[in-house]
Each structure stands twice: as C-alpha cells, then as structure tokens.
C-alpha cells in the first residue's frame, strides 16, 4: 500500500494533469493528495471526471475558494471516510481492503500565513488526542517540532526550490511525512521517498506502508480462442476431468481446470501476439522472394499458402485481442468513475 502527496503548483495545465496521471501509473499509489491545485471549483469537476475517473475524489472547496487539496484514492483498494475537512487539511479514516488494516490519514497543505498556521497546529493537536494509528503528510510550508515522528526519507534531501538562477536559487524541506507511535507499532516497515520535482517546484512524497502481495494477473477470456481448432477439445477434455466432492466444489474445480487449459492454449498459440505476427509476416516475405527465383516450385507455392493462412489468422487474432482489451479497459474505467466533490 502506498500513500503520496504532491504540490503540483497549479492543475489547470493539461501537461501537469498528465504528469500526475503518469505518477499514479508508475508508482501505483493507492491514496494521493494533490496540493495547490489552483483550479476553480467550476472547472475542477470536468478535469476530475475526464482525467481521474478511475479514482474517487474528495476536495476542500467549501473551505477554500481555490480548492487547495484534491484527495484521490483507488476504491478497489481502500475505503476512505472523511472526518474533518479544513482549509489547510483533509483528515480521514482509511480501511485497506486486502488486509483489513485501519488507520487515520491527514493530508496537509499549510498556509503561507504564520497566523493561519496556528489554527492548523491547534487542529492537528486536537486530532492527535483522538487517533490510534496516524500518518500526516503534505506541504507544511515551515519546519516545526510537531511531536510526531518524521519518517526519514531517501532521494531528495530538499523538497522545494524556487528554481531561480545560480546565486538566487533557494532550497528547503517543506514537504514531510509524520507518524505517531501507534502508526510505528502497526506499520514498522514504513518508508518514504522524496522524489524529483519534475514539472513542479515541490518533490512528491511517496510513502510505502507495506508491499502488496502479488495476486497474479487477472484471467480474461479472449474471444479469438474460440476460432482455434483445438478450442472445443481443450474445453471438453478439461470439463470431463474427474473431480470428487460436492457439486459446488466440482463446478469451481472444473472451471479452474478449464482456465488452465485455455491459458495453455493461449501460451502455445497467442502469447506475444505482436511478435508472432511480425515473425509470420517476415517468413511470408522470405517465401515470396524465394518464389521470384523459382516460380514453378510446388513446394514453395504450398509453403506460401500455408504461411499466408497463418499470417492472416494471427493478424486477425491480434486485432480481436487489441479491440477486446480496449473495450475491457473502457468498461473498467466507467465502472469506477464515481466522483465526490
């Protein structure tokens, strides 16, 4: 499970939106606080719906005119219950589905105004009395003794720079990840990376709580399998395999055997389909060039027919697989596009 915050210093630019999407994809973050968005509320819904439809979203527009915080999370991985929404932070309870672990998380974007930050410290102090396992992360805009444990990070020592020329460039550590003793007891292996700022002037904060167990790739039935001459015999042989037990056990056991048979069929005839298509095309080209030198060769003409038939079948299968995968991804995105603002 991974949590992150990133002060992107403006979210209206499509390039920055794409950078955030790329960050989510490459790091596989489960919870992300996007800070200093500078996107007006009337524009935010269109951006969130079009760019971040695979995530649920919570914002603090009711408490700050420019929506300083967008909190995004994967609904399939975690359930988030908002507890306090504030101009400078969003505090919530989190349930991790796979492990049933529960904790509290506060995403912070502190004000530049020192007087306003007093209100933030007061609110965080009050929260500290009500939580057992707690992590606080984000842009604090100041270094202060908070009474929490600062997770020592790797990569970038300084998390903010004004990106000015040599002689006037400034560096500071404004972004942090803090935890209380309850968190350290529950998640002792927690680590944090402060990554390169890229298009922003702040480093993303990437907290790894624990590495999710590998569950294997999802099984998807490919329609092109039904066109293979061995498809029916593969399914029948798998379904007729003897299994002992209750009817329910027999049913699910047979499904597993059919799945294994189809995966074997796929591996033998359709894995690395693009490479297979290229190889079949190259063999067909070589055969046709050879026919130019010996146009009356029966063996070469038979070989050409065979290679052409294989190439057409593989090319058709490749097209069907790509179309089916695109459709499945589209359906998956639509099913998880609920947005809360």
Q: Domain ranges in the chain?
A: 2-215, 223-333
| Cα→Cα distances 282→246, 289, 297, Å | 52, 11, 20
CA 278, CA 274: separation in Å to the nearest integer? 6
- 328 band by pLDDT with thresholds 50, 70 and 90: low
- 340 band by pLDDT with thresholds 50, 70 and 90: very low
Q: Which residues are within 8 A (CB) of 301 and not within 5 positions of it... i.e. 6 or more apart?
A: 291
CA 220, CA 318: separation in Å to the nearest integer? 15
Say what percent of the chain tops pLDDT 90: 51
pLDDT, averaged across the chain:
87
At 307 the pLDDT is 92
Do 140 and 110 contact (CB within 8 A), yes or no?
yes
Mean pLDDT of 92-108: 95
Q: Can you name the residues that pair with 221 across neighbouring β-strands?
A: none
At 140 the pLDDT is 93
Alpha carbon dihedral 220, 49, 106, 145, in 10-degree steps, equals 120
Q: Which residues are within 8 A (CB) of 123 and not within 5 positions of it... i.e. 6 or more apart?
A: 84, 86, 88, 89
Please say if the pLDDT value at position 26 is more than 60. Answer: yes
Which segment of 23-37, 215-229, 299-313 scores lowest on mean pLDDT? 215-229
At 40 the pLDDT is 93
Instruction: Please give the backbone phi and psi of residue 307, each rounded to the nearest 5 degrees, phi first.
Output: -70, -35
Structural element, H or E, at residue 229: none
At 254 the pLDDT is 84
- 98 band by pLDDT with thresholds 50, 70 and 90: confident
Which segment of 21-30, 67-76, 103-112, 271-280 scores lowest on mean pLDDT? 271-280
- 337 band by pLDDT with thresholds 50, 70 and 90: very low
At 165 the pLDDT is 75
Mean pLDDT of 227-256: 83
Instruction: Please give the backbone phi and psi of residue 244, each rounded to the nearest 5 degrees, phi first.
Output: -100, 145
In three-state secondary structure terms, 181 is helix
| Cα→Cα distances 161→158, 194, 200, Å | 8, 13, 9
Mean pLDDT of 209-227: 73
CA 180, CA 134: separation in Å to the nearest integer? 6
In three-state secondary structure terms, 244 is coil
Which segment of 16-25, 69-78, 161-170 scores lowest on mean pLDDT? 161-170
Superfamily of domain 2-215 in CATH is: Endonuclease/exonuclease/phosphatase (3.60.10.10)
């Amino acid at each position: 499970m991974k949590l992150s915050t990133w002060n992107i210093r403006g979210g209206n630019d499509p390039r920055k939106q794409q950078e955030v999407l790329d960050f989510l994809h490459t790091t596989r973050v489960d919870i992300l606080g996007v800070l200093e968005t500078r996107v007006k509320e009337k524009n935010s819904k269109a951006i969130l719906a079009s760019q971040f439809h695979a995530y649920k979203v919570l914002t603090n527009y009711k408490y700050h005119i420019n929506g300083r915080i967008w909190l995004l999370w994967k609904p399939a991985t975690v359930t988030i219950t908002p507890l306090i929404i504030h101009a400078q932070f969003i505090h919530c309870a989190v349930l991790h589905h796979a492990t049933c672990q529960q904790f509290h998380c506060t995403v912070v974007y502190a004000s530049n105004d020192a007087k306003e930050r007093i209100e933030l410290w007061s609110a965080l102090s009050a929260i500290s009395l009500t939580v057992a396992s707690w992590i606080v992360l984000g842009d604090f805009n100041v270094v202060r003794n908070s009474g929490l444990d600062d997770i020592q990070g790797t990569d970038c020592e300084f998390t903010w720079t004004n990106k000015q020329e040599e002689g006037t460039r400034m560096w500071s550590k404004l972004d942090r990840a803090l935890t209380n003793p309850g968190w350290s007891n529950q998640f002792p292996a927690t680590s944090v990376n402060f990554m390169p700022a890229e298009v922003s002037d702040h480093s993303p904060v990437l907290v790894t709580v624990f590495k999710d167990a590998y569950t294997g790739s999802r099984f998807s039935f490919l329609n092109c399998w039904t066109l293979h001459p061995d498809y029916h015999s593969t399914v029948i042989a798998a379904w007729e395999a003897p299994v002992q037990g209750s009817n329910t056990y027999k049913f699910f056991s047979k499904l597993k055997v059919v799945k294994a048979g189809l995966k074997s069929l796929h591996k033998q005839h359709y894995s690395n389909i693009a490479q297979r298509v290229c190889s079949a095309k190259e063999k067909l080209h070589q055969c046709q060039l050879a026919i130019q030198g010996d146009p009356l060769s029966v063996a070469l003409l038979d070989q050409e027919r065979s290679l052409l038939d294989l190439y057409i079948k593989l090319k058709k299968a490749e097209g069907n697989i790509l179309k089916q995968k695109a459709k499945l991804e589209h359906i998956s995105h639509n099913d998880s596009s609920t947005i809360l603002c």
